[in-house]
Amino acid sequence: MPKTRLDTARIRAARRVIDPVFLDTPLYRCEALEPGLGCTVSIKLETANPIRSFKARGTELVASRLADRASRAVVCASAGNLGQALAWSGRRRELNVTVVASRLATRVKLDRIRALGAGLELVDGDHEMARERAAAIARYDGIRLVEDSLDIETCEGAATIGLELVDSAPSFDTVLIALGGGALATGVGHVLKAMAPGVEVICVQPLGAPALTLSWRQRRVVTTDSADTIADGVAGRYPIPAVLDDLLLVADDAVLVREESIVAGMRLLLDHAGLVVEPSAALGIAAILEDRDRFAGRHVVTIVCGSNVDADAYHHWVRSTPHHHKP
């Protein structure tokens, strides 16, 4: 049993708090993908819900705990998916939700945050600047700050995906998990290591935003000066020490993939699985494409974690011919 910050009994209890619309998501083998990948591939699909990502599993916990408090205000920084999730979970509990995002964030994510009734503050700079600003707002206003991957609710929420995987009587060898702040990887990884320790946990991050992967490899926090990837959902630069500690306990490997592989993964998922995914959700397929020998003959689960894309950017990615994409 890994000694992470997570606790399996608490994760099970979390299932009773999360709106069922986000739970028990489809898990199915997708044979049409397999000739192109050389292994058995199952999809855990986290996009068929009101916010098109897994993030509400965590914000449901945050919001339900806040709903009992005197202060009903909450702020988070978000590349767009956490913000939508917190807006959705907060709206139904009449919380006052503020989301801070980069002015460069994916437009449709910002539009959806506004449409869900949250206050949206845009900052110049990248997601790390949004994190700083959100923390400042929380301090100044004395309200709850939700820090993705640091706050245990975000990890426990993501970890409920792990429970669904192990409860499916797993026949799989490996789970591929998009690595951003680390909530998804440490959450799902904790459950797998606790309940299905034979299953390999592989985290996947873009080469252009490698901070947490480099940190995992060096066993100490490594920051980067910039992040350059289309996978906006995982483009962090400042790993959180406590999250790295957990990741070191649960990840068997952390790999980096090229932008062109992410695009090829999105295209495969569209053409052979009929799935629209955002770049972060194609990281697992990208990892297989970059190292077919490693996965040959194995049964791999990839968590399709979000599908919030700008339509024009998406069509540009998936319909361009592969040689137009440079890493």
- The helix/strand/coil state of 284 is helix
φ and ψ of 28, to 5 deg: -155, 150
Q: What residues between 135 and 154 interact with a copy of itself by CB under 8 A?
A: none
Q: Considering only 42-50, 118-126, 157-165, 224-232, which stretch makes contact with a copy of itself by CB under 8 A?
A: 42-50
Least Å distance between CB 48 and a copy of itself? 4
149 vs 280, beta carbon nearer a copy of itself = 280
- The helix/strand/coil state of 223 is coil
Report d(CA 115, CA 88) in Å as an integer. 10
Q: Considering only 28-36, 92-100, 193-201, 288-296, which stretch makes contact with a copy of itself by CB under 8 A?
A: 28-36
Least Å distance between CB 123 and a copy of itself? 25
Q: Considering only 40-48, 97-105, 143-151, 172-180, which stretch makes contact with a copy of itself by CB under 8 A?
A: 40-48
Report d(CA 235, CA 227) in Å as an integer. 6
Residue of 29, 93, 298, 325 that binds a copy of itself (CB under 8 A): 29
Read off the DSSP letter of residue 1.
-
Report d(CA 87, CA 95) in Å as an integer. 9
Residue type, 3: K
Q: How many CB atoms lie within 10 A of CB 118?
A: 25
Residue type, 53: S
User: Facing residues of 27 across strands?
Assistant: 44
26 counts as binding a copy of itself under rule CB under 8 A: yes
319 counts as binding a copy of itself under rule CB under 8 A: yes
117 counts as binding a copy of itself under rule CB under 8 A: no
**Structure token digits, residue 105:** 């964030």
Residue of 219, 271, 292, 316 that binds a copy of itself (CB under 8 A): 271
Contact set with a copy of itself (CB under 8 A): 21, 24-32, 43, 45, 47-50, 52, 112, 115-116, 270-271, 274-276, 307-309, 311, 315, 319
